Amino acid sequence: MNYIILDLEWNQGNEQKEKQLKELPFEIIEIGAVKLNSRMEICDSFHELIRPQVYKEMHYMTKKLLHLDMEELQSGRSFLQVIKSFLAWCGEDYMFGTWGPQDLTELQRNMKFYGMEPLDKKPMKFYDVQKLFSIAFEDKKSRRNLEYAVDFLAISKDIPFHRALSDAYYTGRVLAKIKDPQVLQMISFDGFIVPHNKKEEVHIVFDDYAKYISRDFADKQELLADKEVSSTKCYLCHRNLKKKIRWFTPNGKHYYSVSYCEKHGFMKGKIRVRKTEDDRVYAVKTMKFITEEDAADIFKKKERARELRRLRKHKES
DNA sequence: GTGTTTCAGCACCTTCACGC
DNA sequence: GCGTGAAGGTGCTGAAACAC
């Protein structure tokens, strides 16, 4: 399998002059990509400018960041022509990789705007190299900019940043430096396309955690009432587990639980409630084995949330 | 049954650090 | 300036629990 490491540059409306379109807040103006073979060696590249059809002026922030002007973009082909060439260049057997989580969402939003078929009917797998860099070399949580990662890995900076092809090239070089197979199995899923039925839902088990992406629901109440969403099944022995701490939320967005498996120990559940493009909701649930101390911390978190609510109530009265 | 208290759920906001 | 995601804070509302 090949890896298509992609970077997009986009433009947006200048508030005073051009109103931002809700269906297309960002218009892609440049696409750059490198192809990595199965040994993570760069073997090909793709680069094209795209002639803007929606936003005719460059947003001042974009102008400041990218070294591109509108005149130069007029030499590019239309989005439809470029994307068709790009997808043909990608070939058959590949997986995308990007720096950060946004590029594939914007690519698919632009494709939808121009009436193209989505890249996939379910959430698309990809490498979020920014996340993998953090898992491989840092604290697993922080999000660094691309230049920091390039400096950290002592990759030579022979071309300027903030152009699609150069950023794709550097992202590919960073990915190639990640050798740990445990890190490389940590794939991400793009959230632009959400499963619409049980068959399309995503269930994936990694070495130390399991991930589930639900189908979409009309609202949060319906989502949380679903048995699959609220279940706490051991992903190793597939038994339904009794909850030690029932689902609770400190903020209405994330829900936590702790269950206990007699064979494998304490398991933390986390549900993130996310909105779809059409204002429905879906869940991203992760289950992970934790220590007894971690379980005690989650219990404290629940108690703290309760205490905060109590204090606020007292303050009011 | 009624009034009060407690708690959970939720929307909205802020902050931080990225992306263009 | 607008987008993303994560995490956490604030204030409102309504249900549940409780006392009477």
Of A17-31, A142-156, A161-175, A228-242, the poorest mean pLDDT is in A17-31
The residue with greater pLDDT, A205 or A78, is: A78
Residue in A166, A32, A153 with CA at minimum distance from that of residue A103: A32
The pLDDT score that the predictor gives to residue A316 is 44
Q: Is the CB of A61 under 7 A from strand C?
A: yes
Contact between residue A188 and residue A127 where contact means Cβ atoms under 8 Å apart: yes
CATH number belonging to domain A2-184: 3.30.420.10
With 70 as the cut, is the pLDDT of residue A174 above it? Answer: yes
A272 touches strand C (CB under 7 A): yes
Q: Which nucleotides of B are covered by protein (CB under 7 A)?
A: 5-12, 17-20
Q: Rounded distance, CA A260 to CA A233, Å?
A: 10
Which nucleotide has the least CA–C1' distance to A100?
B19
* Strand C closer than 7 A to residue A317 Cβ: no
On the question of pLDDT at A90 being above 80, the answer is: yes
Please calculate the CA angle A227-A188-A8 and round it to the nearest 5 degrees.
Answer: 135
Q: For residue A308, give the nucleotide whose C1' atom is nearest its CA.
A: C9
Angle between helices A129-137 and A164-177 (to 10 degrees): 30
Mean pLDDT of chain A: 83
The pair of structure tokens assigned to A261 is: 């498996």
Q: Bigger pLDDT: A21 or A264?
A: A264
- Other beta carbons within 10 angstroms of residue A102's beta carbon come to 14
Residue A105: what pLDDT?
A: 86
pLDDT digits (tens, 9 = 90+) for A209-267: 888 888 888 777 777 778 788 888 888 888 888 777 777 776 666 788 888 888 888 88
**Interatomic separation, CA of residue A164 and C1' of nucleotide B15, rounded (Å):** 29
| Closest nucleotide C1' to the C-alpha of A65 | B20
Tokens describing residue A23: 């269906």
Could you check: is the Cβ of residue A274 within 7 Å of any atom of nucleic acid strand C? yes
Radius of gyration, alpha carbons of chain A: 22
Lowest mean pLDDT among A158-162, A184-188, A198-202, A205-209: A205-209
pLDDT of residue A317: 44
Nearest C-alpha neighbor of A79 from the set A21, A128, A9, A148: A9
Burial of A253 (0-12, 13-18, 19+ CB in 10 A): exposed
pLDDT at position A267 is 86
Q: What is the pLDDT of residue A197?
A: 85
For tokens 């022979």, what's the residue?
Answer: A158
How do the domains of chain A map onto residue ranges? Answer: 2-184, 196-316
- Strand, helix or coil for residue A94: strand
Residue A50 carries which DSSP code? Answer: B
- CA A267 to C1' B6, in angstroms, rounded, equals 29
pLDDT of A1-17, one tens digit each? 899 999 998 888 776 55
Which segment of A131-135, A235-239, A241-245, A284-288 scores lowest on mean pLDDT? A241-245
Q: In A 26-45, which Cβ lie closer than 7 Å to strand C?
A: 26
Q: Which stretch, A15-24, A30-39, A264-273, has highest mean pLDDT?
A: A30-39
- Strand C proximal to A157 Cβ, under 7 A: no
In what order do the strands lie in the sheet containing A281-290? A202-205, A209-213, A281-290, A265-275, A254-261, A242-248
Closest residue by Cα to the C1' atom of nucleotide C1?
A61
User: CA–CA separation, A115 vs A78, rounded Å?
Assistant: 14
Binning pLDDT at 50, 70 and 90, where does residue A124 land? Answer: confident
CB count within 10 Å of CB A263 equals 8
Asked if the Cβ of residue A309 lies within 7 A of any atom of strand C, the reply is yes
The nucleotide closest to A66 (CA, C1' atoms): B20
Q: Cα–Cα–Cα angle for A190, A191, A196, nearest 5°?
A: 120
Residue A77: predicted pLDDT: 93
* pLDDT at res. A34: 93
A101 touches strand C (CB under 7 A): yes
